[in-house]
Amino acid sequence: MALWIIVGIIAILAIFVIATYNGLIKLRNRVQEADSDIDVQLKRRYELIPNLVEAVKGYAKHEKELFEKVTKERSSLVTGSTAEKVEASNAMTDTLKSIFAVAESYPELKANQNFLQLQSDLTDTQDKIMAAQRFYNSNVRDFNTKLQVFPTNLYGKILGFTDFSFIEAGNDEKKNVEVKF
């Protein structure tokens, strides 16, 4: 009878250690997955932001050149000889045709819409990075808590588990990021 009690206690302890070990593995994998999610969002930002900035710069430059040309030709309509005014009028018509063609073919190329899109994408990307970091930190909290509470704290480190570090903002990261064109 005493033998069965000892075997039962050993079996319960073994099941408890196995269940705890498996729970720690599960939580560790969730922390690693959350870390990978952060990498995915950082890669998205790395690939997205420079492309968006260049696109906006290109579209804004294109529209700026067209509108500067329209402004210059518009002023020529008011001053100068009749021949110069006719020439300016023809040039203005050609420039306006270019603007209308651009607007018809690529209405999304309007600079203000591109800047709004850039701002929206920057905000969305930063929000996704912060969400991934919060998800990571919550998984780290769960893992570290399980590792530190009794009785797991007695044998968790013996089984090879160590605490994960939380993501914290460094001094440079606490400053506002500037996007320059």
Return d(Cα 119, Cα 125) in angstroms, integer: 10
What pLDDT, on a 0 to 100 scale, did the predictor assign at position 72?
A: 67
125-136 pLDDT tens trace: 878 888 888 999
Q: How many percent of the chain have pLDDT more than 70?
A: 54
Q: How many percent of the chain have pLDDT more than 90?
A: 24
14-46 pLDDT tens trace: 998 899 999 999 999 999 998 888 877 777 777
Give the residue, 97 or 140, on which the prediction is more confident.
140
Mean pLDDT check: name the lowest of 7-11, 90-94, 141-145, 169-173.
Answer: 90-94
The residue extents of the domains of the chain are 2-163
Instruction: Answer yes or no: is pLDDT of 110 > 60.
Output: no
Burial profile 131-154: b = 16 or more Cβ within 10 angstroms, e = fewer = ebbebbbebbeebbebbeeeebee
Fold that domain 2-163 belongs to in CATH: de novo design (two linked rop proteins) (1.20.1440)
**By the 8 A CB rule, do 52 and 121 touch?**
yes
What pLDDT, on a 0 to 100 scale, did the predictor assign at position 10?
A: 94
What pLDDT, on a 0 to 100 scale, did the predictor assign at position 73?
A: 62
pTM above 0.75, yes or no: no
